[in-house]
Every structure is written in structure tokens, then in C-alpha cells.
Structure 1
Amino acid sequence: MARKREKGFPPSPDQLPVGVVDNHTHLESIADVLPDGVADPGLLAHLEHGRAVGVDAVVQIGCDLESARWSVQAAAEHPSILAGVAIHPNEAVLHAGVREVAPDGLEPDPAPRHKLSLEVAIAEIADLARADRVRTVGETGLDYFRAGEAGRAAQREAFRAHIALAKELDLPLQIHDRDAHADVLAILAADGPPARTVFHCFSGDAAMARECVARGYFLSFSGTVTFNKSEELRRAAAEAPAEQLLVETDAPYLTPHPYRGRPNAPYLLPLTLATMASVRTEPLEVLCATIRTTSEALYGPW
């Protein structure tokens, strides 16, 4: 008889020796992705569960207008939360009204996917980003996984607007980069990056990591670094200077091995940190302390 596959939240890992920051999480989305029969314990429970294992602060990212508004409010109400706001590159395509040609060659519906234009959406993000506890602009960048050329053009427009906003407000920039490494680096070089630039859920190889490090960028590693086929990511994590490393869950996505496919939340961050410390042959407590210091230097005090 086949063993029933677990689908609920994984068990708690061991407590970290030093408290750390989850550099990138989407707490508002956890309830939306849970399978049938799995209850969401709620925001306060997720924060407390994280604190119990040493994840005592989070950067909550809102990457569309609704979640950006939610993130600003959550940060205002909870001392362990700071917020980031942006229009995600895939959302930028929808605000721009881009309808790519369907794979079967049929013309798609030309109507815009979002009522608000990209310009209006970014203007609201710029207003939200001025709230006191918004400490990063992100996630923004490029996602070429499904976008055609028209969609990519909209993403590049939005990316440049977010870069300008981060520089105007002197906030760190959190970058989403999927299948677009060369263009992301080229746009940053052409426009001039903000003083603090973070590659959220770093997905490049060791060579790209070296390039990013040389430019002064920060690399944030998620549960993907624990996946069986992620040798290049582990090499990148091993080579990067500790002072330019961050760690994140990207919850509720990218749950670390061996619980891939189950719901993710900040309390699972120790699993990713354990892999990072192992590949770096570095004591876990030293890595945690360095990442905590870096996080507070980037975002300020909680």
C-alpha cells in the first residue's frame, strides 16, 4: 500500500543559536496556497512560530497593489515586520495591458488585464513606499519565464521606474530575476543601481554570484539552495563573502528539502541556513550573526 503523502506544515526545526531575519516572505499569501484540509494558523501564529526557532524578524513583501497595502498595514501593527512594496514584473505585464500571442497562434483578447495602468500602479507604490516602516522597494525586476517581447518591454519599463524610486527614497532594492540574468545586470549598470541592491532568491551560478559581489550587490538565498539539483547555487553560496549574504523563505513558496511541496513559513528558515553553513564550512552561529548584522545595516532597526 502506498504511503500517504504529507501535505501539512512540516515539523519545527531546531532553534537557531542566534536570531535572524527572514529577508523576504509573503505572509498574506500562505492561506491562499494551502491544500484542502490544512488550516492557516494566522499571522500572529506564523510570527510566534518563527520567533520560537530564532526567526524573530521578517521583511514582508507586497508585490501587487493589494498585497502592498496589506504589507504596509501589517508592518505598522507588528514590531517584528518591516515591509517592501513593488509591482512584480509579471504584474507589470498585466497593468500594461499586454496580451501575448497565444501558443496556438490565435489572437488574444486585447483588453487590459488590470483596470489601472502601469503608470498609475507604480504611482501608488511610490506613495506606499514613503510609509515609515517600508524599508525596501521590491520585489521588482525581470521574469522572462513566460513573457514574450511585449511583456518583457513592460517589465523593463517597470524595473527602471522602481530603480529610480529606490534611489529617490534611498531604500534598498529587492530584485526578482528569473531567466533574465544578463538583462537585469545590464539595466542596473545602465541606470545606476541604488546604494543597496539585493538579489532576492538568488538563482544564478557561481560566476554570476562573483559578478554581483564585485558590483557590491547582496545575494539572498532561499530554500532552493537545499534542493538536490542545486549544486550551482550551493557553489554560489559557498563562494560569496558572508557580509554580502542574506537568507529568506519566500514563503509560502520554495519550501526547503526534505519538505519540498509542503507549505512554507518563516519558521523553516533554519533548514536553509543549515545548508548554507554546511557548504561554507562555517559555524552556524557565526553565519547567523553575520546575516543579522547585514540585515539591520540594510533595512535599519525593527
Structure 2
Amino acid sequence: MSWFDSHAHPTQAGIGYEILAMRAAGVEGFIAVGTSVSSSEAVVDLVGSVHESFPELTVGAVVGIHPHDAGSATNEDLETLSRIIEDDPVLVRGVGECGLDLFYEYSSREVQEEVFRSQIALAKRFDRTLVVHTRDAWEDTFRIFEEEGVPDRTIMHCFVGGPDEAQRSIAMGAYLSFSGIVTFKNAENVRQAFLATPLDRILVETDAPYLAPVPLRGRPNSIGNVAVTGSFLAELSGLNRLDFARHTWQNTIDAFQLAPKTL
């Protein structure tokens, strides 16, 4: 069985443990995601070292500026993201996570929108997958996509909407990535959104070290735990785990245009 974590935030200090936990859980791929210029540079270095040391794993990096950090972003930061993509076009598979967070609103709405629009343009310019963070901001997110256009490959990361938001996301061609939140007792709307999502649009993620799934909730999350969330979703969908793992593996390969692997 091969699971693929479509979104995590590993560090160099913890990657040795992550590799051990992945192998024990049957996880053979992950996407490492940046949230600022410095963390983006770090995940590219990490993915490069993993790719060299563990060629049997399928890995990729996503570089971008999180809405929490939008307020401190500069034009030079966006130019640096461009350079990072140009310097390592094979391992850098996406732009993000970027978007809008109006729950915390650590950066102003206006600045979040500006930085989000800039990263949509960056994804289009380099033909990279856009990884979207949206919290309490669905209408604004859809409005911006209507105005800017949707990149060819777009992922709604850590999907926490309901069936209506799922249908609107699917209609614009997006993938929906489900995290451990879908296992939480109060997440029935997310489970209904999952059941409304076509199988070829579903990804599974950990968002590690955050959002550990039940029964591990409250502990630091690990990339290996994508197998826990994936198994939960397989049962919810009525598919056996092997078939569900194969489908979500291929979806992740397609979403990030990674080199295919025979399972």
C-alpha cells in the first residue's frame, strides 16, 4: 500500500523521524510546503536532500507566502520565489500555500488579496500548481478566481467547506485535499463535502505538524499519519484502502505533474 501526503511542513531537524514513520505506515510520497520565502527555501533544500538520499520516495516542494505572512511580503520576496522556481524547476512543483485567512486576519484583507493575486499570476507564469489556503473567505476566494482566472492545476488545501463550496471548487477545476479535520466529531459538513467530491479530485494530506487525525488528535502530526486519514476516508467512501490509496496517489501525481510511479 502506498499513501501520498499532498501537504506537509517537514523540517530538516525532524525529517529522519518522518522517514521512519512514513515507511512504517506505507507512505511513499509527500509534498513539502513553504509559507514564507525563508521556509520555502528551506523546504526546497529538504526535498532536494530527500530526493538524493531516498530516491525510492516521490517528493516535491511548494513555495509561497501564506496569508498570515502577507503583511510583511515585499516585491523582492515575490521575485525571490520566481528565482527559486527557475533554479529548481524539477523539484518545485507548486506555488503556495497562498490565499485568504479572514478568521485570524493577521494581515489586512487588502494586502492578503494583493499577495494572493500575485501568486496566482506566478503559478500561471511558471505553469505550477496553485495551493490555496482559504478560511472564512470562500466568497472572496471565488471572486478573486473569477477576476484573475484559475491556474490549470489548483488545490483547495485542508478543505473545510461544505458540499456547496466543494461543488463550486470542483466546477472551477480544483482538487480538494482533505486533512485530519475530516475525522473530527464536529466536521460532518467536511465529510459531506468529501462524499460529494468525484474520486479523481480527491487528495489526502496531514498538514503536519498540525491537525493530527482522530485518535491522535492533540499530538504533533506526522507525515505517516496520512495513512490514518486515508483509511478513514476509504471506509467513508466504501472503497477498500488499497484502491483508495492508488486513486489518491495518482491524483497527487496528476495534480503536481510529478514523474509517475508504478504501484
Shared fold by TM > 0.5? yes
Q: Which structure 2 residues correspond to residues 7-156 of structure 1 after superposition, within 5 A?
A: 18-28=1-11, 42-79=14-51, 80=57, 81-95=59-73, 118-130=74-86, 131=88, 132-147=90-105, 151-156=108-113
Mapped pair 1:267 → 2:250: no
Residue matched to 1:246:
203
Distance 1:229 1:45 in 2: 31
Contact 2:150 2:172 in 1 (8 A): no
SS at match of 1:23: strand
Percent identical:
34
Residue matched to 2:194:
237
Distance 1:238 1:278 in 2: 11
Contact 1:47 1:56 in 2 (8 A): no
Q: CA deviation at 1:127?
A: 1.2
Distance 2:78 2:219 in 1: 33
Contact 2:175 2:255 in 1 (8 A): no
* Cα offsets for 1:79-129 (capped at 9, x unmatched): 23310000111101233xxxxxxxxxxxxxxxxxxxxxx211111112112
Distance 1:226 1:20 in 2: 17
Q: Which structure 2 residues correspond to residues 138-217 of structure 1 after superposition, within 5 A?
A: 138-147=96-105, 151-217=108-174
Q: Which amino acid aligns with 2:34?
A: G
Contact 1:221 1:247 in 2 (8 A): yes
Residue matched to 1:37:
none
* Cα offsets for 1:16-73 (capped at 9, x unmatched): xx212100000129x7xxxxxxxxxx31221232122111111000111221111111
Q: CA deviation at 1:146?
A: 2.3
Distance 1:245 1:205 in 2: 14
Normalization by structure 2: what TM-score? 0.91
Runs of 4+ in 1 over 4 A off after TM superposition: none
Distance 1:62 1:137 in 2: 9
Q: Which amino acid aligns with 1:84?
A: V
Normalization by structure 1: what TM-score? 0.80
Distance 1:62 1:216 in 2: 23
Contact 2:167 2:197 in 1 (8 A): yes
Distance 1:26 1:191 in 2: 28
SS at match of 2:23: helix
Gaps of 5+ in 2: 52-56
- Corresponding residue to 1:285 among 233, 242, 258: 242
Q: CA deviation at 1:223?
A: 0.3
Q: Which amino acid aligns with 2:100?
A: L
Distance 2:69 2:91 in 1: 23
SS at match of 1:243: helix
SS at match of 2:5: strand
Gaps of 5+ in 1: 1-17, 32-41, 96-117
Aligned length: 251
Between structure 1 and structure 2, the one with the greater Rg is 1
Q: Name the structure where helix makes up a greater proportion of residues.
A: 2
C-alpha root-mean-square deviation of aligned residues, in Å? 1.5
Contact 2:95 2:130 in 1 (8 A): yes
